[in-house]
Structure 1
Amino acid sequence: MTPIRILIVEDDRKIAEIQRRFVERLEGLELCGIAHTMADARDLVEVMSPDLILLDVYFPDGNGLDLLRELRAIDSSSDVILITAAKEVETLRSALRGGVFDYILKPLVFERLQDAISRYRDHLNRLSGLHQLAQKEVDALLPRSSGEDETPKEERLPKGIDALTLNKIRAVAARGGQWSAEEVGAEMGASRTTARRYLEYLVGTGELSAEVTYGSVGRPERRYAHKT
Structure 2
Amino acid sequence: MNPIKVMVVEDDAKIADLHRRFTEKVEGFEVVAIAQGLDDAKEMIELFEPDLILLDLYFPEGTSLDMLREIRTKGLETDVILITAAREMGPLKEALRGGVFDYIIKPVILERFKACLTKFREYYSRLHNSETLEQKDVDNMRHPSAAASTPPLSVDLPKGIDPLTLKKVKNVFKDPDTVSGLSAENVGELIGASRSTTRRYLEYLVSIGFIYPDLVYGTVGRPERRYFRN
Match in the other structure for 1:30: 30
2:54 pairs with 1:54 = yes
Q: Measure, in 2, the Cα distance between the counterparts of 1:19 and 1:11.
A: 12
Percent of residue pairs bearing the same amino acid type: 48
- SS of 1:6's equivalent in the other structure is strand
Match in the other structure for 1:106: 106
Q: Measure, in 1, the Cα distance between the counterparts of 2:49 and 2:78.
A: 7
Match in the other structure for 2:117: 117
Match in the other structure for 1:200: none
Displacement, 1:136?
2.1
Displacement, 1:129?
3.0
Displacement, 1:38?
0.4
- 1:105 maps to a residue whose letter is I
* Structure 1 segment 5-44 matched on structure 2, within 5 A: 5-44=5-44
Distance 1:56 1:89, change over 3 A: same
Q: Measure, in 2, the Cα distance between the counterparts of 1:79 and 1:94.
A: 15
Displacement, 1:90?
1.4
RMSD in angstroms over aligned alpha carbons?
1.8
- 1:141 maps to a residue whose letter is M
TM-score (norm 1): 0.62
Distance 1:145 1:89, change over 3 A: farther
- 1:38 maps to a residue whose letter is L
- 1:57 maps to a residue whose letter is L
Distance 1:38 1:110, change over 3 A: same
* Bigger Rg, structure 1 or 2: 1
* Structure 1 segment 1-228 matched on structure 2, within 5 A: 1-143=1-143, 149=171
Distance 1:143 1:115, change over 3 A: same
- SS of 1:131's equivalent in the other structure is coil
What are the Cα deviations for residues 74-102 of structure 1, in whole angstroms up to 9, with x where unaligned?
A: 00101000110111111111111111011
The answer to whether the Cα contact below 8 Å between 1:101 and 1:143 also exists between their aligned partners in 2 is: no
Q: Measure, in 2, the Cα distance between the counterparts of 1:48 and 1:144.
A: 27
| Structure 2 gaps, min length 5 | 150-169, 175-230
Displacement, 1:145?
6.1
The answer to whether the Cα contact below 8 Å between 2:55 and 2:82 also exists between their aligned partners in 1 is: yes
Higher relative contact order (CA 8 A, sep 6+): 2
The answer to whether the Cα contact below 8 Å between 1:10 and 1:16 also exists between their aligned partners in 2 is: yes
Q: Which runs of 4+ in 1 moved over 3 A?
A: 143-151
The answer to whether the Cα contact below 8 Å between 1:5 and 1:32 also exists between their aligned partners in 2 is: yes
